[in-house]
Amino acid sequence: DTGVSQDPRHKITKRGQNVTFRCDPISEHNRLYWYRQTLGQGPEFLTYFQNEAQLEKSRLLSDRFSAERPKGSFSTLEIQRTEQGDSAMYLCASSTRPPGLADRSSYEQYFGPGTRLTVT
Amino acid sequence: DQQVKQNSPSLSVQEGRISILNCDYTNSMFDYFLWYKKYPAEGPTFLISISSIKDKNEDGRFTVFLNKSAKHLSLHIVPSQPGDSAVYFCAAKQAPGTASKLTFGTGTRLQVTL
């Protein structure tokens, strides 16, 4: 396991359809994050998990979005009733929990290649 | 409300010269800063980071400087190489015990010319 993987890499769907994306983090990482990136912007935080617990959700994450990490390993992000405004790159990242305040290197998040969603 | 700002959308530098990418932030709760590099069709790749208790961190050709009083940081790349051509994002994280999310700037596209 050399990095974060995401599937699929590209998804084209019609408005109103449901889509689901998968993220497999680096195996020893217990924190997993989802971000969304649109053209000309930096990644924007959506949600994150520590093990299987979802600890924070952004206001960007409307009721149509749901994320799970059932066994604390891989995660899925589902978008229901997709809208054209959902078209974006969806990025997953993982990191380890800092064992102590001195080990700030654990704050680094490692990103997967992303899933490009196009809603027509 | 853009809490992390990269005011230069693009930068062109000759190979061998120094590239300086700038980043400003407004949230005084940020205490850890990171730079990421992104190639087209790939996810961001971690480059270098700095804690707010330091004012400089160096890793090979990459150096990050932090001016906490000015809420400003910069990434220096020297010497610049054509392979450095990419979009660079500045990101910030709040102190431990609060949100673990990263807040990103809008990026600066660096082009290193021959």
Model pLDDT for residues B36-59, shown as the tens digit of each residue? 999 988 899 999 999 888 999 999
Interface touch B102/A55, C-beta < 8 Å: no
Q: A115 and chain B: CB distance < 8 Å anywhere?
A: no
| Alpha-carbon span B31 to B92, nearest angstrom | 7
Neighbours of A18 (CB within 10 A): 11
How many angstroms separate the CA of residue A83 from the nearest CA in chain B? 22
- CA atoms within 13 A of residue B102's CA, in its CB half-sphere: 35
Does residue A99 have a pLDDT over 60?
no
pLDDT of residue A85: 95
Interface touch B101/A56, C-beta < 8 Å: yes
> Which regions of chain B are under pLDDT 50?
99
Q: What is the pLDDT of residues A41-93, one digit of tens each?
A: 999 999 999 899 998 899 888 899 999 999 889 999 999 999 999 999 999 99
| Alpha-carbon span A3 to A112, nearest angstrom | 7
Token pair for A53: 């617990």
Distances (CA, A) of B97 to A57, A101, B55, B111: 16, 10, 23, 38
For chain A, state the CA radius of gyration: 14
pLDDT of residue A60: 82
Percent of chain A with pLDDT over 70: 91
| Alpha-carbon span A51 to A63, nearest angstrom | 22
Cα angle for residues A31, B52, A43 (degrees, 5° grid)? 45
Inter-chain Cβ pairs, chain A and chain B, closer than 8 A = 65
Q: A25 and chain B: CB distance < 8 Å anywhere?
A: no
Distances (CA, A) of A19 to A69, A77, A81, A100, B47: 16, 8, 8, 38, 32
Give the burial string for A94-104 (b: 16+ CB within 10 Å, else e). Answer: bbbeeeeeeeb
